[in-house]
Amino acid sequence: MNELYAWQDELWQRWIGLRARLPHAILLKGPQGIGKLDFAMNLARSLLCKKSSGNNLACQDCISCHWFEQGTHPDFRLLLSGTQSIEMQQSSETQASLTLKNCSKRIAEEAFEEQQKKGKKPSKEISIHQVRSLANFINLSTHQGGHRVVLIYPAEAMNTNAANALLKTLEEPSERMLIILVSHKPQQLLPTIVSRCLTLTAPMPSLEASSTWLQQQNYANPVTMLTRAGFAPLLAARLAEEAIGESEYNFFLQEIKQPAQFDVFTLAEQLQRIEPIHVIHWLQQWCYDLSSIKLTGKVRYHPHLFDLIKNLSNNIPMFNLLHYQNELIVAKREALHPLNPKLLFESILLSYRHIMLKTDI
């Protein structure tokens, strides 16, 4: 059974070409929600597999594949941030491969339980302790006499100390050891780490490939879902799965498209159930379209509102839009730990109304 996403075939061929002269480290980069982690898991499992099937995918039958599926492979380590562990625990049936998910989920659960035992809040970082815990694994000889694989996801979650510890490992590579860094934001990685990795760019699927995949997962409105998720199919599925407020999103859109009338405080109240990061994302997409129509005459995320966006954008100076977009970038950084989400919403929505109504900002 081929477990790759349809849009990853070419990348898989590239990987097959690399197997004969395996690099010590691979950086797999690309936007969030396009199946990078599944690809990396496939890569790791195929390298550890004892038999390997057609197209060099893992056989799913040997002892190594069995261990991998159970999340107990002695020659494989997966490092995740605490928040990522929780996200994986909460995701259910949208990923293409249940096997991969069982494995990652089990490891995620263990990481989560470990943190709970220590009475700590889940961290969004990958710590130096996690990277140091690899030392024994790296120095021991391999259990199966084959390769050992470490997968770090997402690599940008490593804090500075963790990244420096990893750098030491990369500088003194062990034989038959592959470290896979998966990153949505490679620009946040230390350049010295990136330079020691062979970089693979995960392809963004076409709209057609993404829609087909979502239809196969029994979603009825793939294009609408995709426009809300920046055209990333797995992210679209996750957002739908988490039921990230269909009704809140519609209400949000209904309100912000009439900046002269909407009530900032009512909207902020309504949005409270939604993670701030998602609301900021919606606003960013909305502003992207307002800017884009001014600069290129096109919209990306809200094609059904083309005329309305065109009219609205006519009245806003580009400078104000840019200013507001910068404000959203700052808000996004703060949104992971907002003291009071409602206040945060009020603040960004008030600014939005200010720029739209050309009052001072």
Quick check: helix, strand or coil at residue 121?
Answer: coil
Identity of the residue, 104 or 284, whose beta carbon is nearer to Zn ion in the bound complex: 104
Residues in contact with Zn ion, shown as a per-residue x/- string from 65 to 84 under the rule CB under 5 A: x-------------------
Buried-exposed string 265-301: b where 16+ CB fall within 10 A, e elsewhere = eebbebbeebbbebbbbbbbbbbbbbbbbbeeeebeb
Q: Is 335 in the site for Zn ion (CB under 5 A)?
A: no
Give the helix/strand (H/E) hosting 27. Answer: strand 25-29
- Choose the stretch contacting Zn ion; rule: CB under 5 A; options: 47-55, 84-92, 164-172, 297-305: 47-55
Separation between Cα atoms, residue 285 and residue 121, nearest integer Å: 31
- Choose the stretch contacting Zn ion; rule: CB under 5 A; options: 48-56, 227-235, 248-256, 312-320: 48-56
Identity of the residue, 14 or 51, whose beta carbon is nearer to Zn ion in the bound complex: 51
Residue 23's Cα: distance from chain center in Å? 24
Binding footprint of Zn ion, residue count (CB under 5 A): 6
At its nearest, how many Å lie between Zn ion and the CB of residue 68? 8
Identity of the residue, 51 or 129, whose beta carbon is nearer to Zn ion in the bound complex: 51
Of the candidate residues 40, 49, 162, 349, the single one contacting Zn ion (CB under 5 A): 49
State both tokens at 296: 């290129």
Beta bridge partners, 153, equal: 80
Of the candidate residues 2, 6, 32, 62, the single one contacting Zn ion (CB under 5 A): 62
Q: Which distant-in-sequence residues (6+ apart) come within 8 Å of 346 by Cβ?
A: 264, 265, 268
Identity of the residue, 36 or 73, whose beta carbon is nearer to Zn ion in the bound complex: 73
Beta bridge partners, 27, equal: 181, 199
Quick check: helix, strand or coil at residue 337?
Answer: coil
Q: Is 47 in the site for Zn ion (CB under 5 A)?
A: no
Burial class (CB in 10 A: 0-12, 13-18, 19+), 81: buried
Identity of the residue, 62 or 209, whose beta carbon is nearer to Zn ion in the bound complex: 62
At its nearest, how many Å lie between Zn ion and the CB of residue 61? 6
Identity of the residue, 45 or 281, whose beta carbon is nearer to Zn ion in the bound complex: 45
At its nearest, how many Å lie between Zn ion and the CB of residue 49? 3
- The residues of the shown chain that bind Zn ion, judged by CB under 5 A, are 49, 51, 58-59, 62, 65
